[in-house]
Each structure stands twice: as C-alpha cells, then as structure tokens.
Amino acid sequence: MSRIILYTISAALLLSCGGSAELSIDELISQGDLIAIKEERAKLKEEEHDLSLRLKQLDEAVNALDENKNIALISSEVLESKPFEHFLELQGNVMTDDNVVIFPELPGILVDILVKQGQNVQKGQVLARIDDGGIAQQLSHAEIQTQLAKTNFERQERLWNQKIGSEMQYLQAKTSYEAQEQMVDQMKVQLAKAAIKAPFSGVVDEIITEEGNMVNPGQTPILRVVNLNDMYLDVEVPESYLTSVSKGKKAFVEFPILGETVESSIRHAASFVDPANRTFKVQIAVPNNEKRIKPNLTARIRLNDYTSAEAILIPQNVISENAEGDQFVYLLNTLDEKQEGEAVKRIIKTGRSSGNLIEVLEGLKPGDRIIIEGAKSVREGQMVRNQM
C-alpha cells in the first residue's frame, strides 16, 4: 500500500512539471520579457496550489489506510515482587584495643630483649629485661632477715602463750616480722618490674629501643605488641539512621588497598548522639583469619539500613515527573494478538534506591506490565507495540 501511494505522488509531481525543464525557464529569463516571466510564474503558482491539494488528499488516504500509523515500538516487562536490601555507605578505619606500646615501669639499663620483630607471643611471656639495680640482692638479704624475724616472733609467741616474758617483747617481735614481710613483698613487686611481659597474646610489631640503652618509666618506649584477631571498625552514622541501623544488621567491609571485601555485622550500636556532629557510633567486627588486615587501614562500609522481603523494583530511568512534581511511569494495558496496546500513565511513590533500581512504595503491584524501553517517548493513550 505504501509503495502504491509513493508511486502516485511521483507521477503527480511529474505531471505538474508539465515537461518544462530548467533550461526553458533560463531561456525565458535571458530574454528579459517581464510579462512572459510573470505569466510563467502565475502558471507555476497555480500548479503548486493544485499539487498541494492533491498531496493533502494522498496524506489523508495514507492515514486512513496505513495500519502502522502512530504505533510506537516499545519493550515492557511484567513486575514481580523481589527481596530488596538497601545499604548506607560510609568510611572508617580499622581499630583494635590490643595495640600497645610497652613502656618500662622501672628505670635502668635495657639488658636483654628476648623476642624478635614479627614473633608471636603469649600473654604474660617475658619480652625483655631491665637491670634491676641490685634489687635482687637486696631481696635475698631481706628474705634472710625476714626468716630471722619470723623465728624470733615464733619464739616470743610461744613464750607469751606460756605467760613468760612481757607483752611488749611479743608485740615488738610480731611488728618486726610483719614489717620485714611487707618489705620483701614490695621488693618482689619492684623486681618483677624488671621483667617486661606481654599484656596479651599477639605479635611483636616493632622493637623500638635497642639493648644497652637507658630507659625510664613513661618516657622510653620499648616495643609494640599488636593482636590482629580482635579487629573492628568504629563508624560514625548520621542520627537520622538511629532506628534503622542497629546491632546485628548486615555489613560489608571493603578494603581498597587489599582488593577484598568481607561480610560482617554490627556488634554494637551506641545510644548516645554526639551533639557536635549529630552522629552515633557503631562498631563492626572485622574477621581477620589471614592476618592481612592491619590497624588504621582505610575501609569502605556498607551498612544494611532497610530490608523488604517483597519489593517492587523498577529502573530509575523509566520514571518521569510532571509539573506538579509527581513521579509517573507508563503501563501497557492488555495486549492483542499483534502485541499492541495502549500506554497508560500511572502516578507512583518511590522509596530507597540501589544502583539503577528504585523501590516503588505506591502505584504499582505485581502483575503490572511496565514500559521500559521507549518510556520517555510515549504519551497517555498512545497505541504502542510491544517488541518480543
């Protein structure tokens, strides 16, 4: 049908030209006969008017006979409810409570370092020793004096029980013995400080001071011990998520430097909101079985703040907005045997998004057929054809 119409239009154009060639017009103009030129122009204008009327008739015929008029090609899909999880994206640094620089508790010469950098150590293991400055000898002498004081006290106690001797002698012996015991205990505590022990099990991360150096309490760092088992992230979360981010929620932790992501969960969510920045802290455990994750390592965190078991999800790029700010999409009504139907506008209300998908809270239901490709080019009531 279309080809017949085109042939008809071509024939009409040829007839309207009347066999006149451009050369004839050129000759007419070259003759300079103004009257003849005007007559030829009037003739052509009349033919132009006649041709326009005939083209209009042909256009009307095309519109009446063409089965494909105003049929836009689109693609669509039937909506289904699906599980949907939304994640809040934040940043944080890896931390551990077991990351300690050990300082001496006793002044003296660092005489011996008993471990190497990178060595695994157990809680209570002696890591280094400091010259005790003669405390060990003093302790030995004090223990002998204590034993003597004890013998004297026991003798005086037996006599006192037999009502022999004075009470003053008994009390003096007892006081002397107790004072001597306290002195020994204090010297043992001082001597114990000469041995630097691991406060927890972990690895010797750094040896800071070499053997032979003078060390002082609170001033000279000896070494650093780190436990890489109990790692975590302290993350500041905006207060608007106080009710949706809670203990036990899923979390994904990505380490860009390592090129890996681990799955974890929130092990603690604080109830206190910092008034300075209106955030609250959550703590996320970080599994570290291979010991690749280190303290202060930067991480990207995705916290699960919303979950829906049956959500309606659509691509964001199919959504349009009217002058009133309402969001809408186009649905495709019942298809006929030619896969043709009518585009129907539907006002919707959306929720959270993830990537290119967004959840529809109102306006759509499972089973609706939504227009995907061509959604921005159709209009209300337009006939469209669904591409298989």
79-106 pLDDT, tens digit per residue, is: 999 999 999 999 999 998 888 999 999 8
Task: Tell me the backbone φ, ψ of residue 301, rounded to 5 degrees.
Answer: -115, 135
Q: Is the pLDDT of residue 2 over 50?
A: no
User: What is residue 133's predicted lDDT score, i.e. its pLDDT?
Assistant: 81
Distances (CA, A) of 89 to 52, 60, 86, 252, 354: 64, 59, 10, 10, 11
Distance CA 103, CA 386 (A): 76
User: What is residue 383's predicted lDDT score, i.e. its pLDDT?
Assistant: 87
**DSSP H stretches of helix in 21-127:** 22-31, 34-65
Q: Is the pLDDT of residue 17 over 90?
A: no
CATH topology (fold) of 101-126+197-225: OB fold (Dihydrolipoamide Acetyltransferase, E2P) (2.40.50)
13 versus 135: the higher-pLDDT residue is: 135
Q: Is the pLDDT of residue 18 over 80?
A: no
CB atoms within 10 A of CB 203: 18
User: What is residue 317's predicted lDDT score, i.e. its pLDDT?
Assistant: 94
CATH 2.40.420.20 fits 72-84+309-386, yes or no: yes
| pLDDT tens-digit readout, 134-147 | 888 888 888 888 89
User: What is residue 199's predicted lDDT score, i.e. its pLDDT?
Assistant: 92
User: What is residue 340's predicted lDDT score, i.e. its pLDDT?
Assistant: 87
Distances (CA, A) of 116 to 102, 182, 294: 15, 37, 19
Over the chain, what is the mean pLDDT? Answer: 86
Q: Are 139 and 191 in contact (CB under 8 A)?
A: yes
Task: Tell me the backbone φ, ψ of residue 54, rounded to 5 degrees.
Answer: -70, -40
The residue ranges of every structural domain in the chain are 2-65, 72-84+309-386, 89-97+226-307, 101-126+197-225, 132-193
User: What is residue 23's predicted lDDT score, i.e. its pLDDT?
Assistant: 47
Computed from CA positions of residues 159, 164, 167, 169, in that sequence, does the dihedral angle turn out positive or negative?
negative
Least confident of 61-75, 126-140, 225-239, 321-335: 61-75
DSSP assigned state of 388: -
Residue 21: pLDDT band (50, 70, 90) is very low
User: What is residue 9's predicted lDDT score, i.e. its pLDDT?
Assistant: 44
Distance CA 98, CA 25 (A): 101
Average pLDDT (170-190) is 88
Buried b (16+ CB within 10 A) or exposed e, 90-108: bebebbbebbbebbbebeb
Q: Which of 189, 194, 196, 192 is nearest to 127 (CA)?
A: 196
SS (H, E, C) 195-212: EEECCCCEEEEEECCCCC
Q: Is the pLDDT of residue 8 over 70?
A: no
Residue 117: pLDDT band (50, 70, 90) is very high
User: What is residue 62's predicted lDDT score, i.e. its pLDDT?
Assistant: 66
Around 272, how many Cα atoms within 13 Å sit in the side-chain half-sphere? Answer: 3
| pLDDT tens-digit readout, 204-251 | 999 999 999 999 998 999 999 998 888 899 999 999 999 999 999 999
Q: Is the pLDDT of residue 68 over 60?
A: no
User: What is residue 3's predicted lDDT score, i.e. its pLDDT?
Assistant: 42
Residues forming beta bridges with residue 285, ordered by sequence position: 232
CB atoms within 10 A of CB 109: 15
User: What is residue 5's predicted lDDT score, i.e. its pLDDT?
Assistant: 42
Average pLDDT (295-323) is 94
Q: Which of 241, 243, 244, 289 is nearest to 264 (CA)?
A: 289
Q: Is the pLDDT of residue 279 over 50?
A: yes
CATH topology (fold) of 89-97+226-307: Elongation Factor Tu (Ef-tu); domain 3 (2.40.30)
Q: CA-CA-CA-CA torsion for 210, 211, 217, 219, nearest 10 degrees? A: -20
Q: Are 159 and 83 in contact (CB under 8 A)?
A: no
Distances (CA, A) of 274 to 88, 269, 329: 19, 13, 42
Q: Is the pLDDT of residue 286 over 80?
A: yes
Q: Are 365 and 79 in contact (CB under 8 A)?
A: yes
CB atoms within 10 A of CB 264: 17
Q: Is the pLDDT of residue 373 over 90?
A: yes
Distances (CA, A) of 8 to 17, 51, 55, 182: 15, 12, 10, 125
**DSSP H stretches of helix in the chain:** 2-17, 22-31, 34-65, 135-161, 167-192
Burial class (CB in 10 A: 0-12, 13-18, 19+), 229: middle
User: What is residue 14's predicted lDDT score, i.e. its pLDDT?
Assistant: 43
Q: Is the pLDDT of residue 7 over 50?
A: no
Assessment of whether the complete model's pTM goes beyond 0.85 = no
Distances (CA, A) of 281 to 85, 88, 278, 291: 22, 14, 10, 25
